[in-house]
Structure 1
Amino acid sequence: MDNLPTQELEALRYIQYECRDAIGYITLNRPDKRNALSADMVTELKLAFSAAEDDETCKVIVLRAAGEVFCAGADLAYIQELQGFGYTDNLADSTHLMQLFHQIYTLNKVVIGQVQGHALAGGCGLATICDFAFTVPEAKFGYTEVKIGFLPAIVSVFLLRKIGEARTKQLLLTGDIITADKAAEFGLVNFVVSREELADNVVRFARRLCTENSGQSMELTKEMLARIPEMPLEDSLLYAAQMNAEARGSQDCRRGIAAFLNKEKISWE
C-alpha cells in the first residue's frame, strides 16, 4: 500500500488505500465475505477516510470494492455476536457506524462510489452516502432491515435529505430490493454504466473534478450543503451570504476570476 501515514493504517486487513494521479482509492477487500461490514471493517474504513482526507496528494476519493459484491451489509458472524449485546454495547456499535456515515457525509473531499455489484442493507447505505455513485446495470440495491426485524435507522437520516420522504418511506418500509436503473431514478446513484466501462468512467469523472474544479470550492460547497438543511430560512441565507463573501477573498477565487477575465484555461491540480 502507498501513502499510508501511520503504522495503524499499514496494518489494515480489510481495507486498502492508495492515491494515484490525485485520486485516493479506498477499497473494501473482503471479497470472500461479500465485503460484509463488521466492527473491525468499520474501524478500518474510518482510518482510511481520515488518511485520504489528510493526504495532500489526494483531491478526490473513490470508494470501491473487490470481488463481485460491493457490500452485502452486516457480516453474518457479527450479527450472531450482536445477539449477546446489551443496550450499552449496541449503542456503542450503532454509534461506530453512525460516525463512519457522518465522516463520509462531511468529509472535506468529494467521495465517489464505484459500485460494481450488489449493495444491500448497510452496504446500500455505504454506497448511497457517497457524494456521487456509479454502478453497473446488474447491481441490486435495497435497505432490507425491516425483513429481519431490524431498523434502517442511521441511513434514514441521510436518505430523507437525499431523496425525500416519499421515496425514503417506499424503500425503508418495504425493504424491497431494486434494480440499478430504479436506484438511479430514485436518486440513490447518479450513473449506470456497463461493467467494462465502470472503472474508466469513474476515473474520467474524478479527473475532471480534479482538473476543472477548485478543491477549496468543492470542500466549502459540500460543507454548505451539509449544514444548510438544519437551519431556518433566514439563518441559512445569512450563512450562505457569509460563505459567499469569504470565498470571494480566497486565493482560489482570485485565481479563477483572473483566468476567466483573461480567457485563460485553468487547471486546478
Structure 2
Amino acid sequence: MSLLTTIEDGVAILTLDRPEVRNAFDDALITALTRAYEAAIVDPGVHVILLKANGPVFCSGGDLNWMRRMAGYTRHENLADAMALATLMRTIDLSPKPTVARVHGSAFAGATGLIAASDIAVAVPEAEFAVTEVRIGLIPSVISPYLVRAMGARQARRYFLTAERFSAETALALGLVHEVVPAAELDAAVARHLKALKAGSPMAIAATKALVVAVDRPFDQSVMQDTARRIADQRASADGREGVSSFLEKRKPNWGAA
C-alpha cells in the first residue's frame, strides 16, 4: 500500500509509504489521501489529522510513471486529473478538524501544496523545498492558492519562477512551515502541537477554522476549476509536452521548438 492509516489516541495518522520512489504521488495516492482525510473528518473518534512519511524524503512531488501516463492524456483526462489534486488540497484546507504536517525530509512541487494546505507544519533543518513545475514546462496551478496565501504573492513570484531550492529556515521565514526543530526533537514538537489541538473544543476548533476561512476570503469552486483548467492547458501545450518529455528523457528542454 502507498498510504498507511492508523488512529492513535484521537489522532488519525496518514503515512506516505512509497520510500522506493521518494514518496512521490500519483493518481492512486491522491485518491487514497483524499479518502483518508474524508474518513478522518467524519470519524467521531478523530480529533486531529497528522500527515507524515516513511523513508528519508517527505515527498518528491509527482511520480515519474504518472507523468509518463499524463503525457498521453487528453485535455478532458488532464482536467479530471487536475481536479482530483485540487479536491485533495481543498479537503485538507477545509477540514473542520485540525491538520498537521510532519516534514522530516525534502518536499518538492505538489508536496509543498500539501504542507501549505495544512494548519500546522513542522520541519527539520535538513529539509529542502522547491516549487519546480516551470522546470518541466508546467505551472504550480492547483497548489498555488495555498502557497500564495502562505508565502505571499511577492515571495511566490520568486520561488514559482526560479524553481530554486530553499532551506527549512527560509520556509520558516516565508511562512510555509511554522517551526523548524532538530530531527531528534521532531516527534516531541509534533506531539506538543497534537496535545494543544486535542485540548481545544472540537466544535470551537471547527468553528474557528470556518471563521478564518470566512475572513480570509476562501478559494471557491470557481478557483478550483480555473486552476485545474490552467494546468490542463499547460500540460497539453508545446512547452508542457516538451518539458515533461525532456525531464523523463533526462535531457535539456528545447523551449519554443517542441
TM-score band (shorter)?
Answer: 0.7 to 0.9
| Superposition TM-score, scaled by structure 1 size | 0.79
Query: Does 1:141 pair with 2:133?
Result: no
Distance 1:161 1:201 in 2: 24
Q: Which has the larger radius of gyration?
A: 1
Amino acid at match of 2:14: I
Query: Does 1:225 pair with 2:212?
Result: yes
Q: CA deviation at 1:128?
A: 2.1
Query: Does 1:69 pair with 2:64?
Result: no
Query: Does 1:189 pair with 2:165?
Result: no
Question: Moved runs in structure 1, 4+ residues, more than 4 A?
Answer: none
Q: CA deviation at 1:201?
A: 1.3
Distance 1:37 1:167 in 2: 26
Aligned partners of 1:163 and 1:188 also within 8 Å: yes
> Which moves more between the two structures, 159-168 or 102-111?
159-168
| Runs (5+) with no aligned partner, structure 1 | 1-12, 232-269
Q: Secondary structure at 1:154's aligned position in 2?
A: coil
Percent of matched pairs sharing the same residue: 34
> Which moves more between the two structures, 33-42 or 119-128?
119-128
Q: Secondary structure at 2:143's aligned position in 1?
A: helix
Aligned partners of 1:111 and 1:132 also within 8 Å: yes
Q: CA deviation at 1:83?
A: 0.7
Query: Could you tell me which residue of structure 1 aligns to residue 224 of structure 2?
Result: none
Amino acid at match of 2:192: R
CA deviation profile, 1:125-147 (whole Å, cap 9, x unmatched): 11221111000000001101011
Which of 141, 153, 157 lines up with 1:153 in the alignment?
Answer: 141
CA deviation profile, 1:189-223 (whole Å, cap 9, x unmatched): 00001111111210121012212x11111111111
| Runs (5+) with no aligned partner, structure 2 | 219-258
Query: Could you tell me which residue of structure 2 aligns to residue 257 of structure 1?
Result: none
Query: Could you tell me which residue of structure 2 aligns to residue 234 of structure 1?
Result: none
Q: Which has the higher contact order (CA 8 A, sep 6+)?
A: 2
Aligned partners of 2:112 and 2:147 also within 8 Å: no
Aligned residues: 218
* Aligned pairs (5 A) from 1:40-55: 40-55=28-43
Q: CA deviation at 1:29?
A: 0.8
